[in-house]
Structure 1
Amino acid sequence: MDIGVIHLLNVKTEGNMFQVVSDYGLPVCQLCGWDRGSCTPEVAERVVKEAKEANVRICAVWAGVPGPAVWNFTEGPVTLGLVPEQYREERIAALKGWADFAVWIGAPAIITHCGFIPENMTDPEYPKVVEAIREVAEYCESKGIGFWFETGQETPIVLLRTIQRVGTSNLGINLDPANLILYGKGNPIDALDTIGSYVRNIHVKDGLYPTDGDRLGEEVRAGTGKVNFPAFITKLKEIGFTGEYIIEREISGEEQRKDILQTVSDLKLWYGA
C-alpha cells in the first residue's frame, strides 16, 4: 500500500520543497500545480533534484487551469474545467503545458477536474466538451503519459460515457470518494462497479452529503464522514487496484497536519482490516 499526500508546487519555497512530505514520513506525493508560469524546464529540473533528495516519488501532476473556479452548484457549472466555452481554449493550452511539465519530471500522468460534464448526452454542448477533453488526452498520449479525470462534478456513468467517447488509450480516473458525496453524485463503493477498471489513484478524503441545493456538502477528516473506508478499500482490493492512496485534507495549519498524520495511521488499519 503506497500512502502519499497532495503537495502544492511552490517555487518560492526556501530549502527543499518536498521536505514537508518527508516530515510526514511519506514516500510519495501527487504534485498540484496552479501557476502556469511554473511549467518551465528550470522548475522541472529543481523538482526532480529536490524530490530525489527528499526520497519522494511524484505519482502524478494535478493540473490546475487559469480563470475562475467556484466550487458550488450555482457558479461551478460556468467556471470549472473544460465545460465553460469562454475559458476552454486557454485551459486546453494550460493542460498541454502541464503535460509537458509532467514529462520533464517523469510523472506518469496529469489529473484535472473537467467540470460539470453534461448529464444529457443529447445536449449540443456535450460533443464540444468531449472534443476538448480528447484534444488534451491526445496530446498527453503523444507524450506517453496518461490523462486522468478527478471525480467530482459528474456522476460515474457520465464519466464512463465520456471516457468511452473520448476513446484514447491513456485515460484513467483519480477517484475522490468524498467528492462523489460532497456533490451528491454517488456512493463511492457502488461507483467502482461502473468506473473501477479506470481507477489509477485514490484521494483519501471524506465528507457529508449536501443538505442545501446551492451548496456542496462539508469536507471532514477521513473516517468521520460518509465514506466507509474499510469497505471501500476492500472493494478496491477485490477489483485489483494497486495505485496510490493520496491523502487530501482541504484545511490548513496545525489541524491539517494532525489530521493527515491520523489518516496515515487509520489507512494502515483499514487496509489490514
Structure 2
Amino acid sequence: MDIGVIHLLDTSSKDNIFKVVSEYSFPVCQLCGWDTALCTPEVAERVVKEAREANVRVCAVWAGVPGPGVWNFVEGPITLGLVPEQYREERIKALKGWADFASWIGAPAIITHCGFIPENMTDPEYPKVVDAIREVAEYCESKGIGFWFETGQETPIVLLRTIERVGTSNLGINMDPANLILYGKGNPVDALDTIGPYVRNIHVKDGLYPTNGDRLGEEVRAGEGKVNYPVFMRKLKEIGFTGEYIIEREISGEEQRKDILQTTSDLKMWMQEE
C-alpha cells in the first residue's frame, strides 16, 4: 500500500510536473486537474514522459469541473457536482474530457465529487442525477477506466444506493474519511460496513464535526481530528483494501509541507500497528 500525495496538474513551469512529488520521495500521486484546457494529447504526452522521469505513478485523475463551487451547506447544494441542473451538461462534457485524459496517461480512473445527491430517493431530481452519473460512468467504461466517487456531500447509504442504481461495472470510491466528518455525514470506520467493498483510494485528511449549521467542520492535520486512523486502517486491511493512501492537506506554504511530512511518518507508524 503506497503512500502518496494529491498533486495539481500545472504545466506553466518548465520544471518536471512531478517535481514536488519527487521532493517528498513519494512513488505515487493522485493528479488533480481543474483546467479542462489541459485535456489534450500533447499535455498527456508530457505527463507520461515526466512521470516516467520522476519515477512517479499516477493512481487516478481527480477531475474538476467548470462553474461555481461553494464548499458549505448553504450554496453547496446548488453549486457542487452534477446535482445542479444548470451546470450539468457542461460538467458531463468536462468529466468526459478528463476520462479521455486519464486513458491517454494510463491512469486507472477519474475521481470527482458528484455533489449533494438527494437523500430522498423519491425526489424527482434524484433519477436525473443518477442518469447524469451513469452517462459519465458509461463513457469511462468505454475507455477502460473507472469512475470513482469522492465521499463528502452524501451519506454512505446514499452513495451505496446511487452506485447500485448507476449499475456500471467500473464504479468505485475514493474515500475521504475527513469529509464524512466535516460534512457531518457519518463515522468513517462505521461507513466501511456500508461502502467498504467499493473503496479504491484513501484521502488521508482529518477534521472536526460541524458546530454551525451553515458551515463545514474544520480541517486539521491527520491524527488531530475525529478520524481514528489506527482503527480505520485496521478495518480497511480486514476488508481487503490494497489501494493507495493519498495525503491531502488543504492549506499552503511551509505548514502544509511540515504536515505532509508528519503525516507520512504517522502513516508508516499506523501501518505497523495494523
How far apart are the structure 1 equivalents of 2:70 and 2:14? 30
How far apart are the structure 2 equivalents of 1:182 and 1:115? 14
Equivalent residue number for residue 63 of structure 1: 63
1:175-220 per-position Cα deviation (integer Å, ceiling 9, x unaligned): 0000000000000000000000000000000000000000000000
Equivalent residue number for residue 92 of structure 2: 92
How far apart are the structure 1 equivalents of 2:112 and 2:97? 13
How far apart are the structure 1 equivalents of 2:37 and 2:257? 28
- Aligned-pair distance for 1:243? 0.2
Counterpart of 2:195 in 1: which secondary structure?
helix
Question: How many residues are paired up?
Answer: 273
Counterpart of 1:62 in 2: which secondary structure?
strand
Equivalent residue number for residue 129 of structure 2: 129
Equivalent residue number for residue 174 of structure 1: 174
Counterpart of 2:7 in 1: which secondary structure?
strand
Equivalent residue number for residue 148 of structure 1: 148
What TM-score do the two structures reach when normalised by structure 2?
0.99
Counterpart of 1:217 in 2: which secondary structure?
coil
Equivalent residue number for residue 221 of structure 2: 221
How far apart are the structure 2 equivalents of 1:271 and 1:122? 42
Counterpart of 1:7 in 2: which secondary structure?
strand
Equivalent residue number for residue 250 of structure 2: 250
How far apart are the structure 1 equivalents of 2:248 and 2:136? 25
How far apart are the structure 2 equivalents of 1:24 and 1:181? 28
Q: Residues 32-111 of structure 1 correspond to what in structure 2 (within 5 A)?
A: 32-111=32-111
- Aligned-pair distance for 1:17? 1.1
Equivalent residue number for residue 201 of structure 1: 201
How far apart are the structure 2 equivalents of 1:204 and 1:65? 22
Gaps of 5+ in 1: none
* Greater than 6 Å deviation, 4+ residue runs: none
Counterpart of 1:169 in 2: which secondary structure?
coil
How far apart are the structure 2 equivalents of 1:267 and 1:40? 35
Equivalent residue number for residue 15 of structure 2: 15
1:123-172 per-position Cα deviation (integer Å, ceiling 9, x unaligned): 00000000000000000001100000000000000000000000000000
How far apart are the structure 2 equivalents of 1:45 and 1:143? 17
AA at the equivalent of 1:184: G
Counterpart of 1:100 in 2: which secondary structure?
helix
- Report whether the alignment pairs 1:2 with 2:8: no
Counterpart of 2:51 in 1: which secondary structure?
helix
- Aligned-pair distance for 1:15? 1.1
- Aligned-pair distance for 1:14? 2.5
Gaps of 5+ in 2: none
RMSD of Structure 2 on Structure 1 (CA) = 0.4
How far apart are the structure 2 equivalents of 1:155 and 1:213? 17
- Aligned-pair distance for 1:13? 2.2
Counterpart of 2:189 in 1: which secondary structure?
helix
AA at the equivalent of 2:249: R
